[in-house]
Amino acid sequence: MQYKAFIDEENCIGCGKCIRVCPTDAIVGSKQVLHTILPQFCTSCSNCINTCPTDCITLTTLGVALSEQEELLLTEKKQQRLSRNQLVPPTILFPRSMSTSSATTQKDRKQSIADAIARVKARKNLAN
């Protein structure tokens, strides 16, 4: 059975760390908003799981396995894109409706990140 990564939407804080470590560009999302995984490109490498600060990524049994050739091709494409982008600073995309300068928005964002981390901690404490 082929395992695929899956993001628990309730606890994703949109930090973008998972996107940076995914070798096949299987994760999509903008900074500060929910991220999601395209199962057809996921190779179950677990990089994203190990890097997620809120532990909101798990492996599930959805999807079909990529061939080794397809996996290699996607990884090469990502490497090429990263090399091309080395000359320009990384771009952070925000939805048009989301103001990045409003103090209230910043406060709300910090609060929702703190809430998500608190939920994960509470879950971990319950499990112990």
Residue range at the interface with ligand SF4 (CB under 6 A); choices 48-56, 80-88, 97-105, 117-125? 48-56
φ and ψ at 70, to 5 degrees? -65, -40
Give dist(CA 100, CA 86) in Å, integer.
Answer: 25
Least spacing, CB of residue 116 vs ligand SF4, in Å:
7
Least spacing, CB of residue 41 vs ligand SF4, in Å:
7
Binding residue for ligand SF4, selected from 32, 43, 63, 120, defined by CB under 6 A: 43
Give dist(CA 55, CA 49) in Å, integer.
Answer: 7
Comparing C-alpha atoms, which of 17, 37, 11 is closest to residue 25?
A: 37
When asked if residue 117 is in the footprint of ligand SF4 (CB under 6 A), the reply is no
